[in-house]
């Protein structure tokens, strides 16, 4: 199960979608949503040429007497998609097409509003335009009225600091804190919060989804080569964390060093190519330290790696 699929499993639960909107869509109209009405919508659409298209996670929630649709696109590519706004425009067109065909319209016969969210988790901060207008050459006066207008809401997990996330009693904030953890102490501090929030019997399915994500995505990413198949509950994750604390600390210390070096290099030289990123992730601590010492004297990225 890859990262995207495990997130789709998590965000197939209404609690996660509600917390995503409550915590990270900072708009006044959010207060008027009835989160108890959240219901998942099918994400498969068929275009006019009969080609099937699989979209991401789609929910709808009542906003007064009308429905508001939430389109959640989960993006965990190693590179930022500069033309994401074009993708979103296409996907929303297919969604609206399906709503027209199924007569799921507003009371007055118009189409319902849609909130498009791009949930991104990558080492590089997202810098692609979030508005279609920024991707189109400015048109002459009069012609600009015919240009498509669309904006998506970007939620870049890595852009949130722990100090911003910790005060939130929010499941998605806990997920982001785990994702952003660089040392074992971060996880030891956050995981008990998640366990305590998911104790209720009615949260069994969501607790299982978090367990699946932890053992199939999160833990293997931190501890490559270790078998986690025996883990079946969040409590067991805590137990393993205590048992392997020394091994995990060593591994995560190295990952933190590598991530920090990548960040410094990108701040100075711009986005790294896959070759340089890979060599950093696989270098030992001594090599990382040597490369890091050259950042502010090297005039090119190649000079950093020259031995």
Q: Do 133 and 20 reside in the same domain of the chain? A: yes
Shared domain for 222 and 259, answered yes or no, is: no
How many structural domains compose the chain? 3
Predicted local confidence at residue 150, as pLDDT: 96
Distance CA 130, CA 152 (A): 6
Q: Are residues 82 and 136 in the same domain?
A: yes
144 plus 12 within the same structural domain: yes
CB within 8 A of 125, min separation 6: which ones? 156, 158, 159
Q: 10 and 16 in contact (C-beta within 8 Å)?
A: yes
Q: Both 91 and 136 in a single domain?
A: yes
Residue 114 C-beta-side C-alpha neighbours within 13 Å: 27
As given in the structure block, the two tokens for residue 164 are 């911003």
The answer on 101 and 132 residing in a single domain is yes
Lowest pLDDT segment from 2-16, 43-57, 140-154, 178-192: 43-57
The residue from 227, 243, 259 where one domain ends is 243
Q: Of 5-19, 105-119, 122-136, 256-270, give the lowest mean pLDDT range.
A: 256-270
Query: Do 62 and 146 fall into the same domain?
Result: yes
Residues 271 and 231 in one domain: no
Do 80 and 102 lie in a common domain? yes
Q: What's the pLDDT at 88?
A: 94
Which of these, 178, 113, 156, lies nearest to 24 by C-alpha position?
156
What domain range includes position 126? 3-159
Enter the tokens of residue 25. Answer: 């869509």
The string of DSSP codes covering 104-154 is ---TTSPPPPEEEEEEE--SSPP-S-SBGGGGSPPPPTTGGGGS---B-EE
> Are both 148 and 7 inside the same structural domain?
yes
Q: Flag whether pLDDT at 48 surpasses 90.
A: no
> pLDDT tens for residues 62-116?
998 899 999 988 877 667 899 999 999 999 999 999 999 999 998 899 999 999 9
Query: CB–CB of 264/301 below 8 Å?
Result: no
Helices (H) and strands (E) in the chain, counts: 13, 7
pLDDT score, position 250: 59
| CA-based torsion, 25, 28, 29, 33: positive or negative | positive
pLDDT over 90, % of the chain: 42
Measured torsion, CA atoms of residues 62, 164, 121, 131, in degrees rounded to the nearest 10: 60
Q: Could you tell me if 155 and 18 lie in one domain?
A: yes
Residues 123, 158: contact at Cβ < 8 Å?
Answer: yes
Residue 235 lies in a domain: yes
Label residue 266 left, alpha or beta by phi (over 0 means left) and psi (-120 to 50 means alpha).
alpha
Residues 260-268 have a mean pLDDT of 81
Residue 276 in any domain: the answer is yes
Q: pLDDT-based confidence at 268, cuts 50/70/90?
A: confident
- State how far the Cα of 151 lies from the Cα of 141, in Å rounded to an integer: 21
- Side-chain-side CA neighbours of residue 294 (13 Å): 15
The arithmetic mean of pLDDT across residues 5-22, rounded, is 92
- In DSSP notation, 217-269 reads IIHHHHSTT---TT--SHHHHHHHHHHTHHHHHHHHHHHHHHHHHHHHHHHHH
With respect to residue 153, please indicate whether it lies within any of the assigned structural domains.
yes
């Amino acid at each position: 199960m890859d990262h995207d699929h495990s997130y789709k499993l998590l965000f197939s639960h209404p609690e996660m979608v509600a917390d995503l909107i409550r915590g990270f869509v900072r708009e006044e109209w959010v207060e008027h949503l009835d989160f108890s009405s959240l219901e998942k919508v099918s994400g498969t659409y068929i275009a006019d040429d009969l080609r099937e298209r699989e979209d991401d996670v789609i929910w709808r929630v009542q906003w007064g007497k009308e429905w508001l649709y939430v389109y959640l696109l989960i993006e965990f590519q190693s590179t930022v998609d500069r033309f994401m706004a074009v993708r979103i425009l296409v996907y929303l067109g297919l969604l609206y097409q399906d709503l027209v065909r199924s007569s799921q319209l507003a009371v007055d016969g118009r189409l319902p509003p849609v909130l498009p969210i791009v949930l991104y988790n990558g080492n590089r901060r997202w810098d692609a335009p979030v508005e279609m207008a920024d991707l189109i050459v400015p048109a002459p006066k009069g012609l600009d009225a015919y240009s498509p207008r669309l904006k998506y809401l970007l939620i870049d997990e890595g852009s949130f600091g722990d100090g911003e996330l910790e005060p939130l009693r929010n499941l998605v904030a806990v997920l982001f804190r785990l994702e952003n953890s660089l040392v074992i102490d971060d996880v030891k501090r956050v995981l008990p919060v998640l366990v305590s929030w998911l104790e209720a019997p009615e949260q069994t399915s969501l607790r299982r989804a978090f367990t699946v994500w932890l053992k199939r995505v999160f833990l293997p990413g931190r501890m490559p080569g270790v078998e986690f198949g025996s883990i079946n509950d969040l409590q067991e994750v805590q137990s393993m964390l205590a048992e392997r604390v020394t091994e995990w600390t060593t591994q995560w210390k190295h990952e933190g060093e590598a991530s920090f070096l990548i960040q410094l290099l990108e701040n100075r030289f711009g986005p790294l190519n896959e070759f340089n990123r890979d060599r950093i992730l696989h270098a030992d601590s001594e090599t990382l330290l040597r490369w890091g010492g050259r950042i502010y004297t090297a005039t090119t990225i190649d000079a950093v790696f020259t031995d």
